[in-house]
Structure 1
Amino acid sequence: MTSTAVPNPARTTPVRRHWWWHYEVPTLLLAAALYVAWAALLWWHAALPGWALFVAGGFLAQLHSSLQHESIHAMRHLPRWLRHAVVWPPLNLWLPYPFYNRGHSSHHVNYHLTHPERDNESAYHSAPAWAAYGPAWRCIYMANQTIAFRVVLGPFLRLWKLVSFETGQVLSGNFSRLPTWGWHALSVAPVLYCVTAVCGMGLGEYLLYFVYPGMMLGSLRTFTEHRWADTPHERVAIVESNLVFGLLYLFNNLHHVHHRAPTMPWYEIPVYFRKHRAAVLEANGNFYYRGYGEIVRRHLFRPVFTPVHPAW
Structure 2
Amino acid sequence: MLDRTSQAAGTIVSTRPTEWPTVILALVIHGGFFALTWWWQSLSPVVAIIVGGWLIAWHGSLQHEVIHGHPTGKQGINDAIGSIPLSLWLPYPIYRESHLEHHRDEYLTDPIEDPESSYFTKAAWEQLGATGRLLARWNTTLFGRLTIGPAVMLLSFLGQEWWLIRTNEPGRRRIWAEHGIGVAALLCWAILVCGVPLWLYLAFIYTGAAMTRLRSYAEHRYADSHEERTAIVENSRLFGLLFLYNNLHVLHHRRPGISWYRLPEVYRKNRETLVQSNGGLVYDGYWDIARRFFLKPHDDPTHPHHS
Q: Does TM-score exceed 0.5, indicating one fold? A: yes
| Runs of at least 4 residues off by over 6 Å | none
Compute the displacement of 1:129 (Å). 2.3
Q: Which amino acid aligns with 1:37?
A: G
Compute the displacement of 1:122 (Å). 0.4
Q: Which amino acid aligns with 2:58?
A: L
**Shift in CA distance, 199/276, structure 1 to aligned 2, threshold 3 Å:** same
Question: Are the counterparts in 1 of residues 69 and 75 from structure 2 also a CA contact under 8 Å?
Answer: no
Q: Which digits, 9 at most, give the CA deviation of each residue in 1:100-149, with x for residues without a partner?
A: 00011100001110001110100111123223331111111111101111
Question: Are the counterparts in 2 of residues 9 and 272 from structure 1 also a CA contact under 8 Å?
Answer: no
Aligned residue in 2 for 1:299: 293
The SS at the match of 2:261 is: coil
Q: Which digits, 9 at most, give the CA deviation of each residue in 1:2-58, with x for residues without a partner?
A: xxxx62277xxxxxxxxxx83111101110111111111111111111221121111
Aligned residue in 2 for 1:189: 184
Aligned residue in 2 for 1:255: 249
The SS at the match of 1:44 is: helix
Computed over aligned residues only, the root mean square deviation of the Cα atoms, in angstroms, reads 1.6
For 1:160 and 1:9, locate their aligned partners in 2 and report how far apart those are by CA, in whole Å.
35
Q: Which digits, 9 at most, give the CA deviation of each residue in 1:276-309, with x for residues without a partner?
A: 1122111111111111111112111111011111
Aligned residue in 2 for 1:102: 97
Aligned residue in 1 for 2:266: 272
Aligned residue in 2 for 1:146: 141
1:161-310 correspondence to structure 2 within 5 Å: 161-174=156-169, 176-208=171-203, 210-310=204-304
The SS at the match of 1:52 is: helix
So what's the TM-score if we normalise by structure 2?
0.92
For 1:41 and 1:170, locate their aligned partners in 2 and report how far apart those are by CA, in whole Å.
34
So what's the TM-score if we normalise by structure 1?
0.91
For 2:30 and 2:72, locate their aligned partners in 1 and report how far apart those are by CA, in whole Å.
22
Question: Are the counterparts in 1 of residues 72 and 78 from structure 2 also a CA contact under 8 Å?
Answer: no
What residue ranges of structure 2 are gaps of 5+ in the alignment?
6-15
For 1:48 and 1:27, locate their aligned partners in 2 and report how far apart those are by CA, in whole Å.
28
The SS at the match of 1:267 is: helix
Compute the displacement of 1:217 (Å). 0.3
The SS at the match of 1:32 is: helix
1:120-131 correspondence to structure 2 within 5 Å: 120-131=115-126
Q: Which amino acid aligns with 2:112?
A: E
Question: Are the counterparts in 1 of residues 56 and 208 from structure 2 also a CA contact under 8 Å?
Answer: yes
What residue ranges of structure 1 are gaps of 5+ in the alignment?
1-5, 11-20
Compute the displacement of 1:159 (Å). 1.5
Q: Which digits, 9 at most, give the CA deviation of each residue in 1:148-201, with x for residues without a partner?
A: 111111111112112221222244353641111100000112211211122221
1:37-186 correspondence to structure 2 within 5 Å: 37-75=32-70, 77-174=72-169, 176-186=171-181
Q: Percent identity?
A: 38
Q: Which amino acid aligns with 1:169?
A: L
